[in-house]
Chains A and B, each alone.
Chain A
Amino acid sequence: MTATLEWQLATVTAIRDETPRVKTFTLSLPAELPHLAGQHYDLRLTAADGYQAQRSYSIASDPTLAGQIELTIERLADGEVSAFMHDVVVPGDRVEVRGPIGGYLVWNADGGGPILLIAGGSGIVPLMAMARHRASTGSHVQATLLYSSRSREDIIYFDELQRLHSGDALGVFHTLTRSQPPGWTGYSRRIDGAMLEEVLAKSDPAAAIFICGPTPLVEGAAEGLVGVGLAPGRIRTERFGSTGS
C-alpha cells in the first residue's frame, strides 16, 4: 500500500466557525505528503463497538502551507461524520485520516494557466484552495469565481474572498438563491445560461473551468457551459454530497 493510503492519526489544532453550518478544522499530520490544490483527505471515525464511518473532505488550505492542512466541513442534517466533527470534536482531539487523494479536480499555480471556478455551497472548498494557492504564489494568471449560496450568511470565506478580489485581482461573482440582504448588488437567482455568459465574458477565453457543488448545480452549470459552446474537455466537475447552494 502506498503512503497516501496509510491511515494516520491527525491532531485537531484549531476549529474556526465559517458560517452557522460550516466549520474549518486545522489538522496537524504526523506524516504530511505534498498535495495539490483540489485534492482531498478521507476521514474515518471508529466507534467503541468497531463500527466505522468514512467520508472525503476537500483540503481548503493553500498547498504551500507546510505542516498542517485545513478541512472545511459542512454539517449535514443526516451526516454521521460531519455531525460528530461539528458537535463533539474539540481542539486536541485526534481523528484518523489518509491522503492526499484525487488528481482530477486539481490545479497547480506552476504552469496551471487561467481558471474559471464555479462553486455551489461547500463546493467552494477545493476551489478556495486553488484561489489561495494562486494568491500565495503571486501568480498573475487570470482567475474568476462564480459562487452560489443560499443567503448572505451561508457564504463561506466571504471576507477572504473580498480580500482576494481587491488584493489579488480574483474576479468574484456571488449569487444568492434564497434570500438577499438589503442593498445586495450580486446575482439573486440560480446559476443559468445568461449568468454563465456574463461571467465567461469577464474570464480568460482559455481558462480551465472547475465546477464543484451539489449535483444539480454541477450538472446544470456544466450543461449550460456546453450549451453556450464550450468544449466539454475544458470543464472538470466534482459533485459534492452537500445540501445548499
Chain B
Amino acid sequence: MTMDDEAEQDPTDAMRLDGNAVAGTFHEWFGAEMTAAPGQCAACGNVAPMATLLAYTQAPGVVLRCSVCLAVVMRIVETPDASYLDARGAAWLRRPRQAP
C-alpha cells in the first residue's frame, strides 16, 4: 500500500467525508441514531452501516454515495423553509426499535 500525497489526490475525493458527518441530520430525519444502522444500496446490493456512506458536503446539499459502487444512495437539502430527502438509492434501512 502506498498513500498518495494529498496534493496529488482528486480534491473532491480528498474532501469527501462519511455518514458520521451527517449523524445529526440522520437523527432529525429518522428520529433515532442511524450511523450504526444498516442500509442496502439499491444499485449494487451492498449492506453496510450508514456511517460508511461517502458524504460529499461541499455543496448546497449533501450527497451520500455507496462506498462500494459509488452510486448515489441519498441526497439531503436544507432550505430556510424545508428539508428534502431523496432516498431512491436506498433499497432499505433498518432502524432499531426504541425503548418507549
**CB within 8 Å of B: which residues of A?**
1-2, 4-5, 40, 42, 56, 98-99, 101-105, 190-193, 196, 214-217, 220, 223-224, 227, 236-241
Instruction: Give the Cβ gap from A126 to chain B, nearest Cβ, in Å.
Output: 9
Across-interface contacts of B57 in A (CB, < 8 A):
241
User: Is the beta-carbon distance between A104 and B49 smaller than 8 angstroms?
Assistant: yes
User: Is the beta-carbon distance between B13 and A42 smaller than 8 angstroms?
Assistant: no
B44-66 Cβ-contact flags toward A at 8 Å (1 or 0):
00000111100101000000000
Given the complex of chains A and B, what is the CA–CA distance between A168 and B36 in angstroms?
A: 29
Q: Which of B18-44 contact A (CB under 8 A)?
A: 18-21, 23-24, 27-28, 31-33, 35-36
Partner pick for B17 among A2, A101, A220, A239, CB 8 A cutoff: A239
Across-interface contacts of A56 in B (CB, < 8 A):
20-21, 23-24
Given the complex of chains A and B, what is the CA–CA distance between A102 and B28 in angstroms?
A: 12
Q: Within 8 Å of chain A (Cβ to Cβ): is B1?
A: yes
User: Is the beta-carbon distance between B35 and A5 smaller than 8 angstroms?
Assistant: no
Across-interface contacts of A5 in B (CB, < 8 A):
24, 27-28
User: Is the beta-carbon distance between B35 and A216 smaller than 8 angstroms?
Assistant: no
Instruction: Give the Cβ gap from B54 to chain A, nearest Cβ, in Å.
Output: 8
Partner pick for B18 among A42, A217, A237, CB 8 A cutoff: A237
Name the 7 nearest CB pairs between A and B, nearest first: A104-B51, A220-B3, A224-B1, A104-B35, A193-B1, A103-B33, A102-B23
Given the complex of chains A and B, what is the CA–CA distance between A10 and B2 in angstroms?
A: 43
Given the complex of chains A and B, what is the CA–CA distance between A216 and B4 in angstroms?
A: 8
Partner pick for A40 among B16, B23, B52, CB 8 A cutoff: B23
Q: Which of chain A's residues has its CB closest to B19's CB? A: A104
Instruction: Give the Cβ gap from B89 to chain A, nearest Cβ, in Å.
Output: 20
Q: Which of chain A's residues has its CB closest to B80's CB? A: A50
User: Is the beta-carbon distance between A239 and B21 smaller than 8 angstroms?
Assistant: yes
Interface centre among B4, B20, B33, B36 (most CB of A within 10 A): B20
Instruction: Give the Cβ gap from B85 to chain A, nearest Cβ, in Å.
Output: 16
Partner pick for A103 among B4, B16, B35, CB 8 A cutoff: B35
User: Is the beta-carbon distance between B1 and A2 smaller than 8 angstroms?
Assistant: no
Interface centre among B3, B17, B50 (most CB of A within 10 A): B3
Q: Which of chain B's residues has its CB closest to A193's CB? A: B1
Q: Within 8 Å of chain A (Cβ to Cβ): is B15?
A: yes
Given the complex of chains A and B, what is the CA–CA distance between A196 and B1 in angstroms?
A: 10
User: Is the beta-carbon distance between B3 and A217 smaller than 8 angstroms?
Assistant: yes
Q: Which of B61-96 contact A (CB under 8 A)?
A: none
Instruction: Give the Cβ gap from A28 to chain B, nearest Cβ, in Å.
Output: 21
> Can you give 19 A-B contacts (C-beta < 8 A)?
A2-B27, A2-B32, A5-B24, A5-B27, A56-B23, A98-B24, A102-B35, A103-B23, A104-B36, A104-B49, A105-B51, A192-B1, A192-B3, A196-B1, A215-B16, A227-B1, A239-B16, A239-B21, A240-B17
Across-interface contacts of B13 in A (CB, < 8 A):
215-216
